[in-house]
Each structure stands twice: as C-alpha cells, then as structure tokens.
C-alpha cells in the first residue's frame, strides 16, 4: 500500500508539473527537493548564448552574470551542446543548480521560456522579486516543426514599432519563432526605401490629401505611418534575441494600389473604363512587360535585403487580377514572344524575374499558394497555403516546401462566434477548433508531410482599423487564446485535448496573460431564460456583469433576474485582463423577418441580385457600379412593421467596404412621405422606431468608397 501511495504522489506531481505549460513539453519528470534562486545566484552562460542571458535579465534580477564560467552551487547555467538538435533543450532543476542545455541558441531560449512558466506570473511584469523557490524536475523537449509562425498585417492597419515588439515578446513566450511581416498592400506601404523615399512618405498614409484612398474606417482623416530602416533593423535584432526570424513581405504583382497611387507608371499600358468607379483608378497590378518595373523591384529588393536577415523574402503572388494583363497589349505581346500558355504563366514569368533579382542579393522567394498555379515555378520556392487545405495538399503533392495556414483554422481575423466582430469568409472558430487541427486527419499522407515546412497563423488587419487601432485590446482579443492553441499544435506531436488545455489556461496561463497585460478572450457565459427568470453562469472563475439595454444600466450579476423582457439583457464576464463577448438569452438574439421588397437606384449583378437583400441570410446584393450622391436602396414592407430596433447597413457584413460613404436613413409611416431619422456612420445606422414603418430608405450624399460596386444586405430587425 505504501508503494502505491508513493507512486500516486509522484504521478500527481508529474501531472501538476506538465499541466502548467503552454505549449506542453515532451517529458516532465518531477524529483524530490527544491531549488531557490536568491540574490546570490549568478547567471552563467556560454558565449554563444550571451543575448539569451541578457534577455533573462529583463525578467529575473540576477546580481551578476558570468560568461564561460563553471557554475557554482546556487547558480543558473545556460550552455550549448551541438550534439542536440538546434531547438532541443533540457532543463534540469536540482537542489544545487538550474541548468538549461540547448542544441543551439534557439534551444537555450526555449528552455528559458519553460523555466519562466515555472516562476510566479509576476515574472512577466518584469517585477519578480527574489528569492523564488522551484520544485526539482527535469524537462526534455524538442519542437515538432522548425517553422512556427505568425503573420502580422501592418499594411491595412498601422501598428507602431514598439507595439510590434510587444507582439514579438508575446510570440516568444509561446516559443513561436517566425514573424511573417506583411509590410505592403493596397492600403499602405510601410517600409522606408531610401532610393524611393516617396513610397513610405506618401504611401504610408491614406485619406486626407494622400493619393491613397481611405478604406475600412477613418474616412475623414489622413492616417497611417511607416517604419524607417533603422526601426526595422531594431525590430529584426529584437526578434533575433527572442529566437524569432522576421520574414518581410512585399506583396506583388497584385495588391499594389498604394504603390500605384504614387507610381501610376507601373500599371499596364491601356486606358480602363472608369465609368463604374465614378472616375477612380482602382487597378492594382504591376505590368509584367515593363523593364522599368523590374528595375524598380531591384531597387526595393536590394534595400529590403539590407534590412532583414531572413534568407526568404515573401513576394506575394496572390489574388492577381489577370484581366488587366489580358487588356494590356504589352503583356499580350510578352505572352506571345515567350510562348506562355495563359495569364497564369505571365505571373510565373513575373515571379521568375523577381526570383532572379532575389538571388542577386542572396535571397529566396516565398509566395502565396495561387502563385504556383501556372505550373512552372521552381520547386525551391516556399509556398504559403492560405486558401484551403486542398491548396496546401496541392502544394505539398508537387513537392513545394509548404507553410500550412488555411484560413478556416489559422486566420485569426475570423470571427470567434457569429455575434462577434471579425471576418467570416473562411470560418467562424475559437481556440478549441485551432487545437483540433491535425494534418493526418486533414488528408496529409507521408508524402505530403515530407513537404510540410511548418504551420503559421495570421492576422489580416482590415477590421482592426475600426476598433480603436491605437489600442491593443481588439488585436489581443482576436489572438488570445487562439495563438496559445496554435503554439501547442505547432510544438507538440500530440497536442492535449481541449479539456486538458483549457484546464491549463484557467489554472495557469490566464494569470500569466494578466501579468503580460493581454486582453484575452474568455469563454462565453451561459445564459438561460425560464419561467420569467434569467440565470447566468461561467465556468472559469470570472465575474459576471449584466446590462439592461433599454436603460444602459447594470452591474455585477449576483442573482437571477426576474423580467418579462429577456431580450433586453446582455451579459459579459471579466477575469483579470480577460473578457468574454456580450451574450444573452435566445430572445436577445432573435430577429424579425418580415416580408420585404428591396429596390435600388443602382442595378445589381445577375449573380447577386437585389432580392438577396430580402432573404435575411448572409446573401448579399452587389451592384454593377459604384454609388454616387443621390443613389438609394429601399426596403418596403408588405405589412406595416412594428419593432424595437432596425440596423440598416450598406457594405459587407463584416467590414466597412463597398458602402455608402456618407448619407442618411429615412423612413415612411404611410408608404409615401419619408422623414430623415439618422445619419450614416461607416455606411449604416441603427434606429428605434416609435410607430409602424411602411418603408425604409438608405440614401447616399456622396460617392461611395474606392470600389467598383456597392453591397446591400438584409436589415437586422428586433
């Protein structure tokens, strides 16, 4: 019996030790005793990992650090064993010492992150105080993938250099090691090119007097920014100390509206019909036939390669509107001269020319998955599979080294539930779905797996600009804990179940994220309504709050709420820096769907007719041209409508695009005379009718945004 009790005690210690880490280590073996870090403890390090030792000083107040010394009793030692794999490590805590041995710099750094997760959460506030006592154990670990990445889009929404460093820190704490830095796109050019300073000085801003048209939000101001080359070099060095490689992306030949706004000569040699855009130029594709374009690319790549140390430069290749090449006589002549089969191979030609420029500066190309569809790109090209699992399988089957990052699992700009902000084109998912990702279950055979270079998650920032982009709250909420789950999936050959992982979040990692100042997403509270009473609860120790939406009043939820208006109450919870989404009873989300006829002054496309805006689904109506002052869309009800609230919105349901830029909502109570009741904000307005409505109309008072269409959707009626 005594032997069984001892075995059980050791087993419980093992479970407790392994359950506190994200990502989970390969092995954790608990042993008797403990070690105390005191103000007499020295940090002793091999010269190869000096930067890692300096990094540790940010978090643990060692009085002295020593290079190439033998550790004495009470010391902490960082050392390298080249017989181990580069990111492999062994962390050993005995009553006498702590030692971290890594196969290289990355291995030692990974061991430091594991050690930090054994320390009190205050270590992440850089305010830990000695002494700190730790249980003795040995942890041996090695990542499943050498590429564990996160892509940050700073082109759509500007993020300062200091804030980028903050996210590098947060990545490092999860042992992620690649930052894919999306620096250019239609909406902005964020990198200083000294030979062409106007690219950043003008292209780094949109709206106001900038030739780059505003999009998604902040339509009435000049807004943006860019990184100087010195700032980018600082970011690269900062990331390198944290075992993170920064991979820059210069997106081309498409996604180049910001560049085109400065250098219109990069476009193809024809005059497009601007009728449907009210005279605005919206082309965004480099001409593949102009030699001057390749000279410009050479200038850009030369300077990019002087800033970034990564062997790869991502050159885009996605969503190229090849109709522009079809209309260009020069591109068609190139196609004939080079005996290219189609426009896809024109892109292959463009990328091959760009690859030659990259090679001149000792760099290799990375592209999005569309770029290999022409069939002739070199197999050494790294492919980022974003569009779907099928595209990833296609790339790996062809032997391309592939970064797996399908949007329906790893695009963290996607909504986490139907009622939250975010995109919805790929999927709606939370951290639980991220953790469930398994390559074999997705159809990857051993042949496919040979070409899987790693896994990456991403955040494209179109929607961020509409959510107080000067704050980290929205981005934090979208990333955490999804990024934690992604770290587990990329590190561990066998990730934990959601129940095990969620236990670690609640018991250990929430407190760490609180110390980091991360506004993480809590699980949604449970809210029910029965027999005239609303009850609410959480399972994570968070505090519940309620609001009566009729009055705006509320407070802490402490007891059931008796009411005959369950639709009026919304709930959310908070715990430390974490917060849940707003939720309510089923009545809170219920919408009315009265029969309605929708008409507009703007014709709609046959595939997306105006009738879609009467279906009360996600179906949308798309017009055949942009809007202008005086255009309208009208919703006429078969029966007079009685309701509490109507949300009337032009543009896409998930972001402000293809909408009436300025305008108003007017309603008719008799079906004939209309009264203006609200001005539009970001293309829409919410009204609260006091009498039955026969018709509602949204009217534009200016041209619409920089698109060639307007989107109409169904009203949301409660």
381 contacts 367 by C-beta, under 8 angstroms: yes
Would you say residue 4 has pLDDT above 80? Answer: no
Cα–Cα dist 45/67, whole Å = 5
> How is the chain split into domains, by residue range?
2-141, 147-516, 526-589, 596-717
Q: For the whole model, what pTM was predicted?
A: 0.95
Question: What's the distance, CA 572 to chain centroid?
Answer: 23
Q: Report pLDDT for 12.
A: 39
Of the listed ranges 195-209, 270-284, 555-569, the least confidently predicted one is 270-284
Confidence of residue 118 (pLDDT cuts 50, 70, 90): very high
Burial 235-264, CB ≥16 within 10 A → b, else e: bbebbebbbbbbbbbbbbbbbbbbbbbbbe
In our burial notation (b when 16+ CB lie closer than 10 A, e otherwise), range 366-381 reads bbbbbbbebeebeeeb
Q: How far apart are CA 385 and CA 594, in angstroms?
A: 42
Q: How far is CA 39 from CA 131, 159, 301, 354, in A?
A: 7, 38, 49, 55
Note whether 455 and 403 are within 8 A (CB).
Answer: yes
pLDDT of residue 706: 85
Length of the chain in terms of residues written: 718
Q: How many CA atoms lie within 13 A of 354 on its CB side?
A: 33
Residue 705's pLDDT band, with cuts at 50, 70 and 90, is confident
SS3 247: strand
pLDDT band at 70 (very low <50, low <70, confident <90, very high): confident
pLDDT confidence of residue 102:
98
Beta bridge partners of 459: 152
Please tell me the CATH superfamily of domain 147-516, with its number: Glycosidases (3.20.20.80)
Q: What is the largest CA-CA distance in the chain?
A: 90
Query: Which tokens hold the place of 181?
Result: 């830095």
Beta bridge partners of 185: 188
Q: In whole angstroms, what is the distance from residue 237 CA to residue 58 CA?
A: 16
Q: pLDDT tens-digit profile of 441-495? A: 999 999 999 999 999 999 999 999 999 999 999 999 999 999 999 999 999 999 9
Using alpha carbons only, what angle is made at residue 318 by residues 703 and 321, rounded to the nearest 5 degrees?
A: 50
Q: Which pLDDT score is estimated for 18?
A: 56
Nearest Cα residue to 487 out of 513, 519, 514: 513
Are both 2-141 and 147-516 of the same fold?
no
Q: In angstroms, rounded to a whole number, what is the distance separating the alpha carbons of residues 434 and 495?
A: 11
In this structure, CATH architecture of domain 596-717: Sandwich (2.60)
Q: Which two tokens stand for residue 185?
A: 């796109």
Helix axes 291-307, 229-241, angle to 10 degrees: 50
Q: How confident is the model at residue 117 (pLDDT cuts 50, 70, 90)?
A: very high
Cβ–Cβ < 8 Å for 166, 473: no
d(CA 498, CA 511) in angstroms, rounded, equals 19
Name the band, by pLDDT with cuts 50, 70 and 90, for residue 632.
very high
Helices 161-173 and 105-118: crossing angle in degrees, nearest 10, is 80
Is pLDDT above 60 for 171? yes
Q: Which residues of 64-101 are buried (b: 16+ CB within 10 A; e: fewer)?
A: ebbeeeebeebbbbbbbeeebebbbbbbbbeeebbbbb
- Name the DSSP letter for residue 525: P
Pairing state of beta strands 27-37 and 132-141? antiparallel
DSSP string, 660-712: -SSEEEEEESSSS--EEEEE-BTTEEEE--SS-EEEEEEEESS--SSSS--EE
Residue 81 DSSP class: -
State CA 654 to chain mean position distance. 15
- Residue 135 exposure: Cα atoms within 13 Å on the Cβ side: 16
Dig out the tokens for 652 from the structure.
Answer: 């896409």
Contacts of 513 (CB under 8 A, 6+ apart): 480, 481, 520, 576, 577, 578
How far apart are alpha carbons 119 and 60 in whole angstroms? 10
Q: What DSSP character marks residue 507? A: I
**pLDDT tops 60 at residue 674:** yes
Q: Which of 397, 408, 465, 534 is closest to 158 using CA atoms? A: 465
Residue 197 is predicted with a pLDDT of 98
H-only helix segments in 574-678: 586-589
Spatial neighbors of 576 by CB under 8 A, at least 6 apart, are: 510, 511, 513, 514
Give the pLDDT score at 235.
Answer: 98
pLDDT: which is higher, 529 or 10? 529
Q: What is the mean pLDDT of the segment spanning 701-709?
A: 91
Residue 120 CB coordination number (10 Å): 15
Q: Give the CATH number of domain 526-589; options: 1.25.10, 2.20.200, 2.40.160, 2.60.40.
A: 2.60.40
Pairing of strands 147-153, 452-459: parallel
pLDDT for 397-419, tens place per residue? 999 999 999 999 999 999 999 99
C-alpha span between 234 and 599 (Å, rounded): 55
Please report the sign of the dihedral spanned by the C-alpha atoms of residue 332, residue 624, residue 368, residue 293: positive
Task: Read off the pLDDT of residues 261-319 as tens digits, 9 standing for 90 and up.
Answer: 999 999 999 999 999 999 999 999 999 999 999 999 999 999 999 999 999 999 999 99
**How does residue 9 score in pLDDT terms, banded at 50, 70 and 90?**
very low
User: Are 240 and 232 within 8 A, CB to CB?
Assistant: no
DSSP 531-542: TTEEEEE-SSSP
Q: What pLDDT score was predicted for residue 8? A: 35
**Tokens found for residue 335:** 């196609």
Q: 3-state DSSP call for residue 184?
A: strand
pLDDT of residue 1: 34
Whether residue 73 contacts residue 86, with contact meaning beta carbons closer than 8 Å, is answered with no
Q: Which residues does 706 contact at the CB level (< 8 Å), separation at least 6?
A: 213, 214, 215, 257, 277, 280, 282
Q: Which pLDDT value is given to residue 603?
A: 97
- Give the Cα separation of 170 and 457 in Å (integer): 14
What pLDDT was estimated at residue 458?
Answer: 98
Distance separating alpha carbons of residues 402 and 367, to the nearest angstrom: 10
Identify the CATH number of the domain defined by range 2-141: 3.30.379.10
The CA distance from 374 to 264, in Å, is 27
Average pLDDT, the chain: 95
Question: Helix, strand, coil proportions of the chain in percent (round to 5)?
Answer: 30, 25, 45
For helices 50-57 and 105-118, the axis angle rounded to 10 degrees is 20
Percent residues over pLDDT 70 in the chain? 97
Burial of residue 599, with CB atoms counted within 10 A of its CB: 0-12 exposed, 13-18 middle, 19 or more buried: middle
Q: What is the CA radius of gyration of the chain?
A: 28
- In this structure, the number of other CB atoms found within 10 A of the CB of residue 558 comes to 9
């Amino acid at each position: 019996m005594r032997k069984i009790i001892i075995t059980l005690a050791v087993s419980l210690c093992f479970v407790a030790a392994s359950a506190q880490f994200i990502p989970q280590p390969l092995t954790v073996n608990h042993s008797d005793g403990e070690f105390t870090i005191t103000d007499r403890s020295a940090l002793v390090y091999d010269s190869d990992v000096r930067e890692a030792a300096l990094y540790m000083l940010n978090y643990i107040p060692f009085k002295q650090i020593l290079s190439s010394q033998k550790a004495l009793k009470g010391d902490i030692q960082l050392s390298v064993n080249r017989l181990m794999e580069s990111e492999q490590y062994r962390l050993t805590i005995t009553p006498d010492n702590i030692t971290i041995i890594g196969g290289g710099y990355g291995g030692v750094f990974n061991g430091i992150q594991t050690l930090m997760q054994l320390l009190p959460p205050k270590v992440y506030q850089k305010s830990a105080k000695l002494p700190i006592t730790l249980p003795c154990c040995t942890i041996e670990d090695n990542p499943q993938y050498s590429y564990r990445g996160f892509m940050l889009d700073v082109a759509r929404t500007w993020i300062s250099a200091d804030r980028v460093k903050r996210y590098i820190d947060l990545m490092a704490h999860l042992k992620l090691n690649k930052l894919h830095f999306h620096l250019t796109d239609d909406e902005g050019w964020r990198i200083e090119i000294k030979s062409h300073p106007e690219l950043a000085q003008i292209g780094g801003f949109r709206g106001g007097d900038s030739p780059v048209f505003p999009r998604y939000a902040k339509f009435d101001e000049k807004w943006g920014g860019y990184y100087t080359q010195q700032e980018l070099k600082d970011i690269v060095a900062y990331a390198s100390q944290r075992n993170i490689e920064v991979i820059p992306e210069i997106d081309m030949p498409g996604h180049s509206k910001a560049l085109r706004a400065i250098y219109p000569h990069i476009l193809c040699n024809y005059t497009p019909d601007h009728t449907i855009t009210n005279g605005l130029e919206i082309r965004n594709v480099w001409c593949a036939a102009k030699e001057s374009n390749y000279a410009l690319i050479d200038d850009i790549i030369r300077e990019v390669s002087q800033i970034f140390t990564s062997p790869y430069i991502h050159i885009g290749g996605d969503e190229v509107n090849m109709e522009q090449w079809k209309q260009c006589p020069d591109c068609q002549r190139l196609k004939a001269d080079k005996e290219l089969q189609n426009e896809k191979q024109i892109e292959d030609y463009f990328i091959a020319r760009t690859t030659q420029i990259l090679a001149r500066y000792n760099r290799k190309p990375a592209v999005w998955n569309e770029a290999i569809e022409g069939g002739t790109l070199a197999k050494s090209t790294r492919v980022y599979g974003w569009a779907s699992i099928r595209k990833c399988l296609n790339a790996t089957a062809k032997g391309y080294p592939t970064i797996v990052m399908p949007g329906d699992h790893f695009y963290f700009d996607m909504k986490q539930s139907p009622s939250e902000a975010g995109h919805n084109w790929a999927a709606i998912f939370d951290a639980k779905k991220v953790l469930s990702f398994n390559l074999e279950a997705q159809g990857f055979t051993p042949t496919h797996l040979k070409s899987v270079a790693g896994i990456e998650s991403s955040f494209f920032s179109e929607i961020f600009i509409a959510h107080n982009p000067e704050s980290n709250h929205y981005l934090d909420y979208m990333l955490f804990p999804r990024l934690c789950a992604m770290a587990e999936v990329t590190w561990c050959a066998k990730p934990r179940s959601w129940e095990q992982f969620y236990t670690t979040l609640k018991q250990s990692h929430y407190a760490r994220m609180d110390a980091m100042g991360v506004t993480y997403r809590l699980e949604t509270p449970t809210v029910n309504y029965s027999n005239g009473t609303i009850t609410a609860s959480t399972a994570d120790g968070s505090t519940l709050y309620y609001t009566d939406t009729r009055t705006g009043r509320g407070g802490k939820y402490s007891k059931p709420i008796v009411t005959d208006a369950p639709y009026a109450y919304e709930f959310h919870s908070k715990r430390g820096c974490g917060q849940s989404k707003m939720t309510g009873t089923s009545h809170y989300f219920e919408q009315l769907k009265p029969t309605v006829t929708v008409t507009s002054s703007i014709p709609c496309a046959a595939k997306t007719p105006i009738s879609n805006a009467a279906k009360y689904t996600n179906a949308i109506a798309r017009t055949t041209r942009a809007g202008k002052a005086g255009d309208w869309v009208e919703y006429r009800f078969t029966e007079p409508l009685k309701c509490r609230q109507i949300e009337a919105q032009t543009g896409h349901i998930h972001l402000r695009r293809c909408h009436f830029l300025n305008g108003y909502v007017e309603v008719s109570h008799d079906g004939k005379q209309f009264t203006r009741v609200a001005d539009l904000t970001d293309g829409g307005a919410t009204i609260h009718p006091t009498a039955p409505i026969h018709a509602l109309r949204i009217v534009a008072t200016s041209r619409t945004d920089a698109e060639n269409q307007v989107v109409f959707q169904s009203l949301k009626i409660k």
